[in-house]
Structure 1
Amino acid sequence: MTEILTTHAGSLPRTQELIDANYNRELEADGFTPKKSPEFERVLADAVDGVVARQKEIGISVPGDGEYGKAMGSAINYGSWWSYIYDRTEGLALTGTDFFNAEPHRSEPGNIVLTSFDDRRDRSLFPGAYADPVTGVPTTNDKPETFIIPAATGKVAFSELGKELCANDITNFSHALEKSGYKQGYLSTLSPGSGARIHDEYYGDPDAFLDAWVDVMRPEYKAITDAGIQIQIDDPSLAENFDQINPEPSVEDYLAFTKKRVDAINRAIDGIPRELVRLHTCWGSWHGPHVTDFEFKYLAELMLEVNAKYYSFEAANVRHEHEWVVWKDVTLPEDCVIVPGIVSHSTNVVEHPELVAQRIERFADIVGPERVIASTDCGLGGRIHPEIAWAKLESLVEGAGIASAKY
């Protein structure tokens, strides 16, 4: 029998104690950096121990810290995977810029620019659904004041505080791994391309701003991997940017635009062993129609140009589940592993273990069971109820066991 491993894509449900502790932290004068607090550090360390222990109890093979080191002060939060970097980056300030409703920009062939965050083609096709807070598309936090987005007003760089916070993540996670008997795990990190999506009021050139974020992120990647821990580079922008560009670009223009973001990742991880790198991409976490998503068949080969060993992507989301067939035509490098989403964050229905097994087998039959790690589409924490999130992970492990028995 070949054991098919399991993991998840990052965020796991926080305890209420940790959510409250994050929400109640006092901020520095800049308005978005939390002040240091020994009591908060105790709550965080205990919570990381607990979330890793629970993964061990369920049977998750490759655990994470649940992104607990990334501040999330509300039960619903789609952005902590991204906003955590603000505390760790110099050159940012609150300027009054409304990131979500900024004046839209229009792209021209061969010259793509991102529009405002909410000027999405999917949103324009379903305005009633996006505007309905009850039966429509939930996209906001229940405490929206906790999601503050600064702008770059000076040279961006990984800060001394960033080094301290990253070291704290490593310490907490390493302790939790050892305590639960794990030999390996991963910490999620931001991609340069995702960092460069904030408003730039300093560089004035998108390519220069992207280059600057390579230098911001590299110290975090290096610190984590130097500790022997895998990094997961979160870059939903590789796929998700497509819906945020108006008018809709050609496939060729979009791939050229995205190639710069792939190259930025490779520059940032240069010299880091591939076996310590996994990439995660998706089409965004919000529970919307997603009819304007970029097709995976156009993106898969470019995704594989990232110098990682593990490639995580959505595959259970019903808008993309059919795309497992892409791997019949795309050649996975021999030393690489795919980490497809097998259970979804976008439905409250818990996938049956037999369905989990069937989804796993689709990929295993193509690339081999030893080169598949069954995962979640995206992070589960802050997106679905904790009871449902943990039930999905239990079903994932049970289904992986069923599939493993067939190889």
Structure 2
Amino acid sequence: MTRILTTHVGSLPRSAAVTDLIFAQERGDALDKAQFDAVIAAAVDDAVARQVAAGIDLVSDGEMGKISYATYIKDRITGFDGDSPRTPPADLEAFPSFLERQAKGGGTPSYRRPRCVGPVEPLTLAPLHDDLAHLAAAMARHKPHGAFMNSASPGVIALFQPNDHYPTQDAYLEALAEAMRPEYEAIVAAGLLLQLDSPDLGLGRHMMYKDRSDADYLTLIGHHVDVLNHALRNVPADRVRMHVCWGNYEGPHHCDVEMGVILPTLMRAKPAGLLFETSNPRHQHDWNYFVEQAAIIPDDKILIPGVIDSTTNFIEHPRVVAERIERFAHIVGRDRVIAGTDCGFSTFAGFGAVDPAIVWAKLKTLADGAEIASARLWKAAA
């Protein structure tokens, strides 16, 4: 390549028609399968067209057919039922008035988060095959540079869907990894990049493990990485990327574990690509940790920093985007950096902090900033 490629984390704004169908499906309402497929296919086609028009190289289906990036798995693997109480992150617990305001504003998901109540095993790949077909049709029509599809990591499933069945958390994670393996392998077999969503490695510190020490946390997420690597044993590293974040919400985030603490663990993960936050105010300094720990970054790692924020309606200036890209290019080289976003823009159906029209404008400024950075980086090397 002679330029910086662009991508994003996955979820994109869903229309009211899509959201209504997704929640009807969630409630168990009787649905016309042909109508459902037609609406989702049209939404995926529109999302891919808009991504290409905005200048995004590596596109996704926008997660149009999923209720959320973690709980969709209940329809694809066995062992889940009921609901789970909502446990707020530690930073929001410290500011109860803000937590209440966020809940009233729709920031707390209202859909079910089922618990693990039985053996976790593969159930069906039919919904995945639908997703793959919709994306393949849109790609054939709009011809992006490439595409990826999101899938939940074992750790993020465990983060939002607690274990009531397995004797230990490790046993639960291992069962999840093996149950999700067919989905991981099918996505890669379809010719797409597999993106593993793994907020458990960042957000998990101030949610599921908020009462543990940093040392304990590193041990625990080390096992998350181990089971993920095992689930990827049949998949080439360069066909996989992993997204790590600290929670896609506007909030204090003063309890976020530092990137410098978890970076060595992240570097042990098999996926060649690493997507992470660098644009929100709590993580704009994180590029320094990559400088300080450059020696531990494997030569085959591709860094995909978030160069636009996903929780505010500010449209970043392209020069700011370019500067963020260049910082990482100067650390690992221009050929090992892709411009990304901090997180998704519609973490669950029916919710998005950023106005849909502004989402596309932000993605356009991402592409504009990547163009500026590319011109500077390749001119400097000439």
With normalisation by structure 2, the TM-score equals 0.92
Secondary structure at the counterpart of residue 339 of structure 1: strand
Secondary structure at the counterpart of residue 14 of structure 1: coil
Query: Conserved in 1, the CA contact under 8 Å of 2:80 and 2:115?
Result: yes
Q: Which residue of 2 aligns with 1:124?
A: 93
Query: Conserved in 1, the CA contact under 8 Å of 2:238 and 2:271?
Result: yes
Q: Does residue 243 of structure 1 match 2:231?
A: no
Q: Which residue of 1 aligns with 2:190?
A: 227
**d(CA) in 1 for partners of 2:205 and 2:45?**
38
Aligned pairs (5 A) from 1:30-179: 37-71=33-67, 80-94=68-82, 97-100=83-86, 117-118=87-88, 120-133=89-102, 139-141=107-109, 144=110, 147-160=111-124, 163-179=125-141
**d(CA) in 2 for partners of 1:191 and 1:269?**
11
TM-aligned CA deviation for residue 88 of structure 1: 1.2
Map Cα deviations across residues 142-185 of structure 1 (whole Å, 9 max, x no partner): xx2xx11112221111212xx00011111111111121113521
TM-aligned CA deviation for residue 278 of structure 1: 0.2
1:176 is matched by which residue type in structure 2?
A
TM-aligned CA deviation for residue 354 of structure 1: 0.9
Q: Does residue 384 of structure 1 match 2:339?
A: no
Q: Which residue of 2 aligns with 1:182?
A: 144
TM-aligned CA deviation for residue 36 of structure 1: 6.2
- Distance 1:180-1:262 versus aligned 2 partners, 3 A rule: same
**d(CA) in 2 for partners of 1:173 and 1:403?**
30
Map Cα deviations across residues 345-380 of structure 1 (whole Å, 9 max, x no partner): 122111111111111111111111111101100001
Q: Which residue of 1 aligns with 2:302?
A: 337
**d(CA) in 2 for partners of 1:52 and 1:246?**
37
Q: Which residue of 1 aligns with 2:233?
A: 270
TM-aligned CA deviation for residue 343 of structure 1: 0.2
Q: Does residue 313 of structure 1 match 2:276?
A: yes
Map Cα deviations across residues 76-118 of structure 1 (whole Å, 9 max, x no partner): xxxx111111111212122xx5421xxxxxxxxxxxxxxxx22
Secondary structure at the counterpart of residue 406 of structure 1: helix
Q: Which residue of 1 aligns with 2:325?
A: 360
- Distance 1:294-1:270 versus aligned 2 partners, 3 A rule: same
Map Cα deviations across residues 230-283 of structure 1 (whole Å, 9 max, x no partner): 110000010111112566433221111110000011011112011110000000
Identical pairs, percent: 37
Q: Which residue of 1 aligns with 2:380?
A: none
Q: Which residue of 2 aligns with 1:196?
A: 158
Q: Which residue of 1 aligns with 2:5?
A: 5
Query: Conserved in 1, the CA contact under 8 Å of 2:22 and 2:66?
Result: no
TM-aligned CA deviation for residue 35 of structure 1: 5.5
Query: Conserved in 2, the CA contact under 8 Å of 1:177 and 1:183?
Result: no
Secondary structure at the counterpart of residue 49 of structure 1: helix
Q: Does residue 398 of structure 1 match 2:371?
A: no
**d(CA) in 2 for partners of 1:405 and 1:26?**
47
TM-aligned CA deviation for residue 137 of structure 1: 7.7
- Distance 1:290-1:171 versus aligned 2 partners, 3 A rule: same
- Work out which of the residue numbers 285, 289, 294 in structure 2 matches 1:322: 285
**d(CA) in 2 for partners of 1:306 and 1:333?**
11
> After the TM superposition, which of the residue ranges 83-92 and 389-398 deviates more from structure 2?
83-92
Secondary structure at the counterpart of residue 46 of structure 1: helix
- Distance 1:273-1:20 versus aligned 2 partners, 3 A rule: same
**d(CA) in 2 for partners of 1:383 and 1:310?**
26
Q: Which residue of 1 aligns with 2:349?
A: none
> After the TM superposition, which of the residue ranges 199-208 and 227-236 deviates more from structure 2?
199-208
Q: Which runs of no fewer than 5 residues in structure 1 stay unpaired?
A: 72-79, 101-116
**d(CA) in 2 for partners of 1:245 and 1:276?**
29
Q: Which residue of 2 aligns with 1:14?
A: 14
Query: Conserved in 2, the CA contact under 8 Å of 1:82 and 1:194?
Result: yes
Query: Conserved in 2, the CA contact under 8 Å of 1:27 and 1:35?
Result: no
With normalisation by structure 1, the TM-score equals 0.86
> After the TM superposition, which of the residue ranges 17-26 and 303-312 deviates more from structure 2?
17-26
**d(CA) in 1 for partners of 2:192 and 2:209?**
39
**d(CA) in 1 for partners of 2:302 and 2:208?**
31
Query: Conserved in 1, the CA contact under 8 Å of 2:77 and 2:179?
Result: yes
Q: Does residue 350 of structure 1 match 2:315?
A: yes
> After the TM superposition, which of the residue ranges 60-69 and 15-24 deviates more from structure 2?
15-24
**d(CA) in 2 for partners of 1:346 and 1:38?**
34
Query: Conserved in 2, the CA contact under 8 Å of 1:297 and 1:326?
Result: yes
**d(CA) in 2 for partners of 1:328 and 1:13?**
35
Query: Conserved in 2, the CA contact under 8 Å of 1:361 and 1:403?
Result: yes
Query: Conserved in 1, the CA contact under 8 Å of 2:50 and 2:360?
Result: no
- Distance 1:246-1:48 versus aligned 2 partners, 3 A rule: closer
